[in-house]
Chains A and B, each alone.
Chain A
Amino acid sequence: MAAFRPIANTRSATGIPTAKLAVWWLLVSEIVIFGGVLASYLMHRLGHPEWANYAVHTQTAIGATNTLVLLSSSLTAVLAHQAAQTGDGKKAAKFLLATIAGACLFLCFKAYEWHGEIEEGFVPWTNGFWAFYYTAAGIHASHVIVGAIIMAFVAKDAYAGRDLHRVENVGLYWHFVDLVWIFLFPLLYIAK
């Protein structure tokens, strides 16, 4: 990898580290993407009371378990950050691996859940509710996958003691992914 770091990158006129600032702006752009999906869904859900009849088929237990899984993975992300702050890259890497494991567990539950629903005949083109259900959760799941991949790279570097500041940044992203799920879970599963 190129070793070049421009002067512009080393400056910090605002006092916020440059990479962290970039992650915050990335999150801003992500918030509006999910905001668009959720606002569209909410408007339609309010306009179609009959969608409640479709929502009863979602499996709240799996959704709740997955909420727990993601919340725990956010906790390990925080612990990784803490370890990175004390300069312990190896420990940070281990906690990041735990977070990645959480992401994988989440995806396994999701796959199991979707498999069952598709078997029952609930597919994205069944009706409007299922279209939103799969699209919103699908966009979220793709963020989980991307987050896990990035964390793997960061963990590899952290293990070697390099770029420890990235542990916090990827953690910020991960908390965001978690937060989106906190909105999706009640809207798709609990509201029946």
Chain B
Amino acid sequence: MNWFKETLSRVKRGKKVDQSLWVMCSGCKEIVYKKEVERNLKVCPKCGYHFRIGAWERINMLLDEGSVVERDGNLAPMDPLKFKDTKRYKDRIEDAQKKTGMKDAVVSVEGTIHGVSVQFVAFEFGFLGGSMGSVVGEKIARAAERSMEKREPLIIVSCSGGARMQESMLSLMQMAKTCAVVRRLSEAKVPFISILSDPTTGGVSASYALIADVVIAEPGALIGFAGPRVIEQTIGQKLPEGFQRAEYLLEHGFVDMIVERKHMKDIIYRIIKLLTGGSYVHSS
């Protein structure tokens, strides 16, 4: 481990590390070997910190190889408000598309989990903070509708700062829209599993994400309505350690379980098996 100590001391002395090989863990602040993190599903081998991952990484991690077919990949954002702050929304979209290779902040697919067919939606935080605008809302709605039609469980992995400001009220209304379709899915008695990754806040947490049949959080994920900075500004004090983290929500009764990345696929599979294995069919 001499090379490691050497690297570490180089970093401490303020010298550059080769960023293609090393990465600093936000959990333990240690410099860790990138390849090792990647082999470990992007979880820090030292402290278990779950690095944020992209939509496709999530899909490849949870769905069976070769089973994945993308849906609604042709949906793209528009700029109905002609929104402009220091930069045009149109340009922000273009930049995000170039950066991520995606049209908007979610990828929607069908595929299998240990052979069980599911509808699956994953957020891409790299696309404007995973914010929910018209496209995200529509893709979630369509995925839920396919779930109903095919009677396949719906799984959404959220990673989002909330509603997209640049579509203002159209974004806010996606909260009501996603809840409306999820309600129908529930009445059709098809399971909906919501997975909360870091972060899940604002209009995403306050719509479909916390009202699912099953709510699962990744360790350490920030989950809440208001962002920590807004709360600190409002109440004028520092927030307690661990506030709004997955463990805090578990303690307060808002998530069913916290599941480490390496167990996620198996847990989802087992839950689907259990929830669809009912034998008592009551008639009214």
Do A and B interact with each other, yes or no?
no
Footprint of A on B, CB under 8 Å? none
Footprint of B on A, CB under 8 Å? none
